[in-house]
Amino acid sequence: MEKENKENVMEKIVSLCKRRGFVFQGSEIYGGLAGTWDYGPYGSELAHNIKELWWKHFISEQENIFGISSATIMSEAVWKASGHLSGFTDPVIECKKCHHRFRADHLAEENKKKNSCPDCGGELGEEKTFNLMFPVGMGSSSTDIAYLRGEIAQGMFVNFKNILDTMHPELPFGLAQIGKAYRNEIAPRDFLFRVREFDLMEFEYFIREEDWEKYFQMWKEEMWRWIERVGIKRDMVHELEVAPEDRAHYSKRTVDFEFDYPFGRKELYGLAYRTDHDLKNHSASSGVDLSYFDEKSKEKFIPHVIEPTFGHGRTLLAVLVSAFREDEMGGETRTYLALPASIAPVKAAIFPLLKNKPELVAKAREVYKLIKKEIPQVVFDDNGNIGKRYRRQDEIGTPFCITIDFDTLGENLEMKDTVTIRDRDSGEQKRMPVSELVDHIKSSIK
Ligand code: GAP
């Protein structure tokens, strides 16, 4: 895709998201709050389906990964011990003239060379470090500072002993969660890509130090399987070995998975070898022993950690970019989202051929209720002509459209209780008995 074309695609995706109720600007009626986005009805379904699939892939289908859900406000002591209060920073530069602030490492070469502001051409000030953590005043005394979590990983580390005591897991094992993280980004941008509040899907895999390379490789391969399963185009994802000077303060090796977003190749996921950095520091700071006792070998030690991390908003955006299609159908341009059925917000739409024929509407509602009992994410639509209804469903990625016509009612006896079922991607229709619909739709949702 050429640059102009890519920008065009991004604009079209953002516009589709707004027009069809996927994503809205946060606090929109008050002019918007930078770096925050709200999910509408279809966006929430899609977001929820991605989380559910991730949970299935990395928790339910694994033998030794435990899911947790920890508080999003955490004590200052946690972030001191983890190193975030000192090390979770970005370099910032402010323009002396317009006072706009920029990430120093994101400035164009030209601006760096001339020391000039990209917005007004004014002189840039000194580079400073800016901490991304969000402090919150707790209770009635504003001196009691806590922090909105900058990463969800710390929830897993501070609960490590609770899990040992309650679940008695054997190494290697993982602790996983999905939930909000907050970062006071200097320059939020590119729609869902760089925001100040976002969901993370992440796990900490606790291992013996000597096994780290083996499990690093194992989870790297599993991350690729996830990428395909969730519907991100494999050939748009690229591994990047992160240079030591660019790694997070806790990591001894990081591989980023970068995606070809329309605005450039940027980080989608990360895989880090966090060593024993977090458990060791929390043990020392809290005074609570966070070591693991191996019953078989009688050894006691602090486990090391491999951490695969998945930004949820970045996943959703990569899924949309991968699924966005435009083609010609029936002499018209149509837009559709080729989403995997497992994450599509609506799995099937049920239509009566005509709205003004009560017997068709009644039969269509009967079929709709029958399917909805088994597959809740289906909709009934009798608004506008059939062509328009197809287009509406194509645009939100509904894999199947089912139409009830006069043959369904028995006008043609041989076709009684059959319907047409239309495939979103090819637009092809075939006749199918009503009794086979549920199995047919379910078989596409893996
Ligand atoms: N526990 C490790 C950790 O949090 P990270 O690379 O800082 O690692 C994890 O962030 C993932 O979160 C990234 O790979 C990216 O997908 C996503 N992410 C990071 N900052 C983000 C932001 N400002 N907006 C949206 N997603 C973000």
Q: Computed over its alpha carbons, how large is the radius of gyration of the chain?
A: 26
Contact 178, 199 (CB under 8 A): yes
Mean of pLDDT values over 406-435? 94
pLDDT at residue number 139: 82
Could you give the angle at which helices 358-374 and 437-444 cross, rounded to 10 degrees?
50
Choose one of 84, 151, 156, 307 to mutate for the ligand 1 pocket test, by most ligand atoms within 8 angstroms of C-beta.
151
- Cβ contacts of 309 within 8 Å, gap of 6 or more: 153, 200, 201, 202, 269, 270, 271, 272
Q: Is the pLDDT of residue 3 over 70?
A: no
Q: pLDDT (tens digit, 9 = 90+) per residue, 307-365?
A: 999 999 999 999 999 999 999 988 889 999 999 999 999 999 999 999 999 999 999 99
Q: Give the amino acid at 17.
A: C
Q: Is the pLDDT of residue 1 over 60?
A: no
Contact 94, 115 (CB under 8 A): no
User: What's the rounded Cα separation, in Å, for the pair 338 and 348?
Assistant: 14
pLDDT at residue number 76: 96
The two beta strands, 253-261 and 128-131, are unpaired
Q: Indicate whether this model's pTM tops 0.75.
A: yes
Q: pLDDT (tens digit, 9 = 90+) per residue, 171-214?
A: 999 999 999 999 999 999 999 999 999 999 999 999 999 999 99
Mean of pLDDT values over 244-271? 96
Mean pLDDT across the chain: 95
* CA-based nearest residue to 303, from 314, 311, 293: 293
User: What's the rounded Cα separation, in Å, for the pair 429 and 423?
Assistant: 6
Mean of pLDDT values over 90-118? 92
Q: Is the pLDDT of residue 4 over 90?
A: no
CA 379 to chain centre: 24
Quote the strand ranges of 299-399, DSSP E: 299-301, 304-311, 324-329, 332-337, 348-352, 378-380
Ligand 1 centroid to Cα of residue 71, in Å, is 18
- Ligand 1 in reach of 200 Cβ (< 6 A): yes
pLDDT at residue number 7: 66
Round to the nearest angstrom and report the end-to-end CA distance of the chain: 30
Name which residue sits closest to atom 19 of ligand 1, judged by CA.
311
- Ligand 1 in reach of 59 Cβ (< 6 A): no
- Angle at CA of residue 365, ends 363 and 366, nearest 5°: 65
Q: Is the pLDDT of residue 413 over 70?
A: yes
Looking at ligand 1, which atom is closest to the CA of residue 152?
A: 1
Contact 269, 257 (CB under 8 A): yes
- Ligand 1 in reach of 84 Cβ (< 6 A): no
3-state SS assignment for residue 28:
helix
Which residues partner with 128 through β-bridges?
A: 92
Q: Which residue blocks in 24-120 are alpha helix, DSSP H?
A: 41-55, 76-82, 84-87, 109-114
**Residue holding tokens 């706009």?**
100
* CA-based nearest residue to 22, from 318, 316, 372: 316
Choose one of 180, 183, 266, 274 to mutate for the ligand 1 pocket test, by most ligand atoms within 8 angstroms of C-beta.
183
Choose one of 157, 198, 315 to mutate for the ligand 1 pocket test, by most ligand atoms within 8 angstroms of C-beta.
198
pLDDT at residue number 142: 62
- Ligand 1 in reach of 195 Cβ (< 6 A): yes
Ligand 1 centroid to Cα of residue 270, in Å, is 8
Q: pLDDT (tens digit, 9 = 90+) per residue, 282-303?
A: 999 999 999 999 999 999 999 9
Looking at ligand 1, which atom is closest to the CA of residue 151?
A: 4
Q: pLDDT (tens digit, 9 = 90+) per residue, 353-363?
A: 999 999 999 99
User: What's the rounded Cα separation, in Å, for the pair 324 and 318?
Assistant: 10
Domains and CATH numbers, the chain: 2-83+147-320 (3.30.930.10), 346-444 (3.40.50.800)
Q: Which of 65-69, 137-141, 246-250, 410-414 has the highest mean pLDDT?
A: 65-69
CB atoms within 10 A of CB 388: 11
DSSP output for 341-359: TTT-S-SEEEEES-TT-HH
* Dihedral sign, Cα of residue 113, residue 119, residue 124, residue 130: negative
Q: pLDDT (tens digit, 9 = 90+) per residue, 157-168?
A: 999 999 999 999
